[in-house]
Amino acid sequence: MNNFRKTVRNLVPVYVLLLPCMLLLLFMMVYPVYQTVRFSMAEVKLPSFELIFVGLHNFIQIFSKEEMGIVFKNTLVWVIGSIVVKFMLGFWAALTFNVHVRGGLLLRIICLLPWTVPSIVSSNLWRWILQSDIGLLNGSLRAYGLGDMAHNWLGDPNSALYSVLVANAWSGFPFVMIMLLAGMQGISKELYEAGSMDGANAIQLFRYITIPSLMPIIVIVLLLQMIQNLNSFDMLYVLTGGGPGGASETLSLFVYRIGFTNFDFGGASAMSVALLVLAIILFSLYNLKSNKSGKREGAK
């Protein structure tokens, strides 16, 4: 292999192979981040995009906006709520499909469907179900004599965020299921056999073998979900647009509104930088965790 590498390196430096990819990343990732940081500390004059340095002014201004508290609260509810519901559904599904029964594969693929549907389609499906006057949900409630519970799900500030959260959990839980299922199938059968020989019952086997063996993958799934839900945009944008009255506006939608409705590029960039720092912290944790579990797997 060493010899081979030398030969190839003499023929063509590896950097030539990587050049197109690196150029693209430089142009489309590194440069934009650099620009965002610059914008965040400048007043952006439109339409010329002339920059006037203003230091931390944008940060102070954006964080002292009165809706900031609601946006943070919504983001927290959205991220934590989505993770909890997705994880519970995903774990339940993984446990179910980890048992081999006839037709199990087919049932598993059916359960996977919500994840395969494009985000705009799942948004539209739920928009149609949650319609206040003619939607399936309210119609069914009325048909079963529960008309009192019929509700303007997306139009009521108290229920808008939670309604979208259910839709989000629907489209995201299959991913959690696949990851956990992959983890469960990687647990050695001998562990369970040894456990039952020692007289452990099903609950004990689950508590002392399944959960600890899954722990590394659970942590990774949780971190991935945190990042994913923090970044999620499509569903909220299509179902409520952050409304009514900002009642379902999360950080992503907030940045979008400040940037592309108010055209305050400086303010939006300041918020972006904050979001980016958060994402980098989460990614570093993820990096750390997945390296560790990779090593552990390698040691086995």
Partner 1 sequence: MKKRTRRAVRHTVVYLSAFLLCSFSLFPILWGLSTSLKPEHQLYVQPPKWIPDPVTLEHYMDVFKNKMMLNYFYNSAFIAVASTVFSLMIGILAAYGFSRFKFPGRNTLLWSILFTQIFPRVVIIIPFYVTLKNLHLLGTYAGLILVYLIVVLPVSVWLLKGFIDKIPYEIEEAAIIDGCSIFSLLWRIVIPMTFPAIGAVAMYAFILSWNEFLFALVFSSAETRPLPIGLAFFIDEVGVQWGQLMSASILMSIPAVVVFSLSQKLLVRGLSEGGVKG
Site for partner 1 in 44-83 (CB under 8 A): 49
> Does 154 participate in binding partner 1 (rule CB under 8 A)?
no
Alpha carbons 172 and 89: distance in angstroms, whole number: 10
Candidates 68, 191, 218, 276; binder of partner 1 (CB under 8 A) is 276
Pick out residues in 11-50 that bind partner 1 (CB under 8 A): 11-12, 14-15, 17-18, 20-22, 24-25, 28-29, 31-33, 35-36, 39, 49
> Does 118 participate in binding partner 1 (rule CB under 8 A)?
yes
Stretch that binds partner 1, among 53-61, 67-75, 133-141, 191-199 (CB under 8 A): 133-141
> Does 152 participate in binding partner 1 (rule CB under 8 A)?
no
Q: What is the CA radius of gyration of the chain?
A: 24
Retrieve residue 185's tokens. Answer: 């199938």
Q: Which residue has the tokens 């959990």?
A: 169
Contacts (Cβ under 8 Å, ≥6 apart) of 184: 94, 95, 98, 210, 214
Candidates 87, 91, 126, 153; binder of partner 1 (CB under 8 A) is 126
> Does 275 participate in binding partner 1 (rule CB under 8 A)?
yes
Pick out residues in 187-226 that bind partner 1 (CB under 8 A): 217, 220, 224
Retrieve residue 263's tokens. Answer: 């055209």
Of the candidates 235, 240, 282, 248, the one whose C-alpha atom is nearest the C-alpha of residue 77 is 248
Candidates 56, 60, 109, 149; binder of partner 1 (CB under 8 A) is 109
> Does 279 participate in binding partner 1 (rule CB under 8 A)?
yes
Number of residues that bind partner 1 (CB under 8 A): 97
209 or 224, CB closer to partner 1?
224
In whole angstroms, the minimum distance from the beta carbon of 179 to partner 1 comes to 7
Candidates 82, 174, 176, 210; binder of partner 1 (CB under 8 A) is 174
Candidates 41, 85, 93, 165; binder of partner 1 (CB under 8 A) is 93
49 or 208, CB closer to partner 1?
49
